[in-house]
Structure 1
Amino acid sequence: MKKVSLVALIVLGTTIWAQNTEIKKTPEVKNSGDKALLVKSDAAELEAKKKAAAEEKAKLPKPYDPKANAQSDIDKLVAQAQKEGKNIMIQAGGNWCIWCLRFNQYVQSTPELKNNVDKNYLYYHLNYSPENKNEKVFAQYGNPGDKYGYPVFIVLDKNGKMIHIQPSDVLEEGKGYSLEKVKEFFNQWAPKKS
């Protein structure tokens, strides 16, 4: 009985300590005028972040084509991959997705990554947007965007067989992507040379 009481006291004490610690992190608001300034400051900061993201997005290339016939495009890539002995890297997402655009720009502007991709893969940007969700194509691969968000990568072998699904969050670092993690990902799923 004493053990249960001691455990209960420890849990209760820890909970109270955690709540007090959280309260101390909240800025002190003395009156409704201060509260209004705090809310206004948060709104202004959020608006500034949205504006910066919109400006960044506007400058980045838009590789996704909502009008493309994705299944036909992928079928052509499979035929080409068989001839060239390459795998197919599908980057699923859309022009609305800043992380999708950032990844594309990162690969295209980093010679080490671009060379690796060009040597080992046929690269395709599979569109997911209100204009074209490519539901049948995504269904073939288990709808990975529903599970992982965007971008998500679908790796096919030269015969069009899906060999890997890669969420992108594990490749991120700060406001961008990790060179080492992206390099490792591309190297891991490159076709095995005999």
Structure 2
Amino acid sequence: MKLRFVLFFLATCLLGAERAYDAKANPASDLKRAVEQARKEKKNILLEVGGEWCSWCHRLDQLFASNAGLLEEREKNFVFLKVNFSPENENKEFLAQYPKIEGYPHLIVLDSGGKMLRSQETDVLEEGKGYNLQRVSAFLREWAPKR
């Protein structure tokens, strides 16, 4: 049991390090790969739009990094993809296909084929200077694929 936790913790750290917002990434091609993976694994897709400049984006990352159950819930039900929005690259063309985003981070849930199911401002998930674990967990459960 302890070994499993250690391995999960290490994987969590590695996932967090790999999942920075990348201004050079091509979200259209990333989404194409995500759709392929989501279809194979029968998952939905969770887009998190934000940037390295965004303190609330880092707070959301921290919530997942510090709550193994929440991270496991996300990884079990979603193919997760960060989409950069920054002065270096606003990804206007890619983001134009979705509703206007008012604040960051912003979550967009897609089905396994890439069809939008939900566009979600994250302020309703906040509590104090962070995010409410129960609200974020409820959001993930609500938009997980029906099995």
User: TM-score under structure 2 normalisation?
Assistant: 0.85
**Distance (whole Å) between structure 2 residues aligned to residue 179 and residue 192 of structure 1:** 22
2:99 aligned with 1:155, yes or no? no
Residue 128 of structure 1: aligned partner: 85
1:81-132 deviation line (CA, Å, top 9, x unaligned): 0011000000001000000111012112211110101100011110000111
2:16 aligned with 1:84, yes or no? no
Q: Indicate the structure (1 or 2) with the bigger Cα radius of gyration.
A: 1
Alignment of 1:32-181 (within 5 A): 63-143=20-100, 145=101, 148-181=102-135
- Asked if structure 1 preserves the Cα contact closer than 8 Å seen for 2:63 and 2:133, the reply is no
More helix as a share of residues = 1
More strand as a share of residues = 2
Which amino acid is 1:133 matched to?
E
**Distance (whole Å) between structure 2 residues aligned to residue 179 and residue 165 of structure 1:** 19
Q: Which has the higher contact order (CA 8 A, sep 6+)?
A: 2
**Distance (whole Å) between structure 2 residues aligned to residue 63 and residue 104 of structure 1:** 9
Structure 1 runs of 4+ off > 2 angstroms? none
Runs of 5+ unmatched residues, structure 1: 1-59
Aligned length: 131
Which amino acid is 2:116 matched to?
M
- The two structures, once aligned, show a CA RMSD in angstroms of 1.3
Which amino acid is 1:166 matched to?
Q
Which amino acid is 1:156 matched to?
L
**Distance (whole Å) between structure 1 residues aligned to residue 87 and residue 109 of structure 2:** 24
User: TM-score under structure 1 normalisation?
Assistant: 0.65
**Distance (whole Å) between structure 2 residues aligned to residue 69 and residue 91 of structure 1:** 14
SS in 1 for 2:109: strand
Runs of 5+ unmatched residues, structure 2: 1-15
**Distance (whole Å) between structure 1 residues aligned to residue 25 and residue 44 of structure 2:** 21
Identity of aligned residues (%): 48
Which amino acid is 1:132 matched to?
N
SS in 1 for 2:96: helix
**Distance (whole Å) between structure 1 residues aligned to residue 66 and residue 78 of structure 2:** 17
**Distance (whole Å) between structure 1 residues aligned to residue 29 and residue 127 of structure 2:** 34
